Amino acid sequence: MYNKGLIVSGLVIFVLLVTFPIWFNGLDAGPLPKPELPPNGTKECVAPAAEMRDRHMQLLNEWRDDVIRNSSREKIVVAGVEYGKGLQLACMQCHSNKEKFCDSCHDYAAVQPTCWECHITPDEAAKKEAQ
Amino acid sequence: MMDNKRRKFLKMAGATVLAGISAPAIVKLSSNPAVAAGDGGHEAPAAAHAATDTHDEEQSSGVRLGMVIDMRKFYQNQGMLDEAIAACIKAHNVPQIPDPKSEIKWIWKAGFGNVFPEHSQKLRSEKVKDNQFPALCNHCDNPSCVKACPTKATFVVEKNGIVAMDFHRCIGCRFCMAACPYGARSFNWQDPRPFIKEYNVNFPTRGRGVVEKCNFCGERLALGLEPACVEVCKGTGAMVFGDLNDPHSEIRKVLDQEFTIQRKPAAGTKPSVFYIV
């Protein structure tokens, strides 16, 4: 092999650079987010927590298509309480603090969903009320 | 020998080229009568003409929600129109932007000349001249905006004929605004939230770069309520809402009894909003 030293040291530098975020943080992914449980004390969600964690975004898209496209707006009943299909109509009725619930994981995972560009959080509504 | 072969080849080539050039023309000529009869290119206008002659336009089947606006009730009571508009603004988080170039309109007031530009404006009665007319999305049976939309963000709801919008899907190209003959669509040039006075927390706002318009209160109808503007005029008969395809509906009774006009019928969009002027 020609230029063995150059190639091997180059590879080592490359791997170190690529893995920079991992070793720079001391092989630690930081404290895991702890999303706030519903302040109103509700225990049951529309689906089990594990499923919601995995696919709440798909569920929201399905609800959106049901309500807007297919005009199927039948209520969802969880533990005797009726919810309309929708971020504002269902989710935020219990998870009323977007900053402490939604944002906690979204910030950790560095995703920026555009939901709240249009959908109103209780906090936003309270701010408008105060004006 | 060689010459003979070459001559033959050239003849064949010439014949082939000629056949190739003339074939489309021959096909076109021979099928021309078929085009006129079968394709409908010439048939359609004739049929449409016959239909308008008998005042029996082809209608969509199923529920087709529409509205009759009885201006005789609004002439006496223009305040009710303001209330109806205010109810819509509140129900749908419609921003109130003072600059007319970027204002957002779902239901709005306009003069007779603007609402019915195809009608003669000369020597109109005082009440028509002095009063404002409500204008809103006509939820057309043949909506040009739906055809223009490249993402199907605007579509006809099969269940009730409402021309609805999926704001999630709107890319803000504004083709629909160019296609709508009624100016019923508005574009959000800026974040609308600072211009909303009061939130309805059960309905979203819109974001920058999205088109919006009247949705015939689809979300209220699902709850068994009437559209917000119709509810304000309840009991006066100023706004009658219902299924245009149901011969026994209240709106059809009004349409059977009264002479009504539509906005820009010549645009061919078959509007579902009728006016008694």
Nearest CA in chain B to A125: B199
Query: Model-level pTM?
Result: 0.79
pLDDT digits (tens, 9 = 90+) for A58-75: 999 999 999 999 989 989
State whether residue A112 sits within 8 Å of chain B by CB.
no
Query: Using the beta-carbon criterion (under 8 Å), do B204 and A118 form an inter-chain contact?
Result: yes
Helix (H) or strand (E) holding B252: helix B250-257
What is the average pLDDT score of chain A? 92
Sequence-separated (6 or more) residues with CB below 8 Å from residue B175: B148, B149, B150
What is chain B's pLDDT, residue by residue, as a tens digit (277 residues)? 556 788 999 999 999 999 999 988 888 877 765 544 444 444 444 444 444 444 555 667 889 999 999 999 999 899 999 999 999 999 999 999 999 999 999 999 999 999 999 988 888 888 898 899 999 999 999 999 999 999 999 999 999 999 999 999 999 999 999 999 999 999 999 999 999 999 999 999 999 999 999 999 999 999 999 999 999 999 999 999 999 999 999 999 999 999 999 999 999 999 999 999 9
Q: What's the pLDDT score for residue A16? A: 94
Query: Using the beta-carbon criterion (under 8 Å), do A88 and B164 form an inter-chain contact?
Result: no
Query: Using the beta-carbon criterion (under 8 Å), do A118 and B207 form an inter-chain contact?
Result: yes
Q: What 3-state DSSP class applies to B253?
A: helix
End-to-end CA distance of chain A: 74
Q: What's the pLDDT score for residue B50? A: 45
Q: Average pLDDT for residues A31-38, to the nearest whole number?
A: 92
Q: What's the pLDDT score for residue B57? A: 58
For testing the chain A interface, which of B201, B217, B221 should be mutated: the one with the most A CBs within 10 Å? Answer: B201
Helix (H) or strand (E) holding B230: helix B228-232
Q: Average pLDDT for residues A94-114, to the nearest whole number?
A: 94
Residues B144, B138: Cα–Cα separation, whole Å? 11
Phi, psi for A81 (deg, rounded to 5): -105, 135
Q: Average pLDDT for residues A88-105, to the nearest whole number?
A: 94
State whether residue A122 sits within 8 Å of chain B by CB.
yes
Chain A residues closer than 8 Å to B206 by CB:
118
Residues B65, B241: Cα–Cα separation, whole Å? 7
State whether residue A119 sits within 8 Å of chain B by CB.
yes
Residues B30, B60: Cα–Cα separation, whole Å? 36
Helix (H) or strand (E) holding B69: strand B65-70
Residues A63, B52: Cα–Cα separation, whole Å? 42
Q: What's the pLDDT score for residue B51? A: 44
Residues B143, B138: Cα–Cα separation, whole Å? 9
Closest Cβ–Cβ partner in B158, B164, B202 for A89: B202
Q: What amino acid occupies position B244?
A: L
Residues B152, B130: Cα–Cα separation, whole Å? 40
Q: What 3-state DSSP class applies to B165?
A: strand
Chain B residues closer than 8 Å to A114 by CB:
207
Please choose, from the candidates B161, B163, B159, B136, the residue with its C-alpha nearest in 3D space to the C-alpha of residue B148.
B163
Chain A 30-69, CB below 8 Å of chain B: which residues? 64, 68-69
Please choose, from the candidates B74, B140, B142, the residue with its C-alpha nearest in 3D space to the C-alpha of residue B109.
B74
For testing the chain B interface, which of A120, A121, A124, A127 should be mutated: the one with the most B CBs within 10 Å? Answer: A120
Nearest CA in chain B to A121: B201
Residues B223, B242: Cα–Cα separation, whole Å? 15
State whether residue A117 sits within 8 Å of chain B by CB.
yes
How far are the Cα atoms of B174, B186, B235 from residue A127, in angstroms, in the given order? 32, 26, 37
User: Pick the residue with more confidence: A115 or A26?
Assistant: A115
Query: Using the beta-carbon criterion (under 8 Å), do B196 and A64 form an inter-chain contact?
Result: no
Residue B55: left if φ>0, alpha if ψ -120 to 50, beta else—which one? left
Query: Using the beta-carbon criterion (under 8 Å), do A64 and B205 form an inter-chain contact?
Result: no
pLDDT digits (tens, 9 = 90+) for B47-66: 444 444 445 556 678 899 99
Closest Cβ–Cβ partner in A89, A118, A124 for B167: A118
Q: What's the pLDDT score for residue B3? A: 66
State whether residue A75 sits within 8 Å of chain B by CB.
no
User: What ipTM was predicted for this assembly?
Assistant: 0.83
Q: What's the pLDDT score for residue B184? A: 97
Q: What's the pLDDT score for residue A29? A: 83
Q: What's the pLDDT score for residue B2? A: 59
State whether residue A127 sits within 8 Å of chain B by CB.
no
Give chain B's length. 277
Q: Tokens 């910030």 correspond to what residue?
A: A107
Sequence-separated (6 or more) residues with CB below 8 Å from residue B248: none
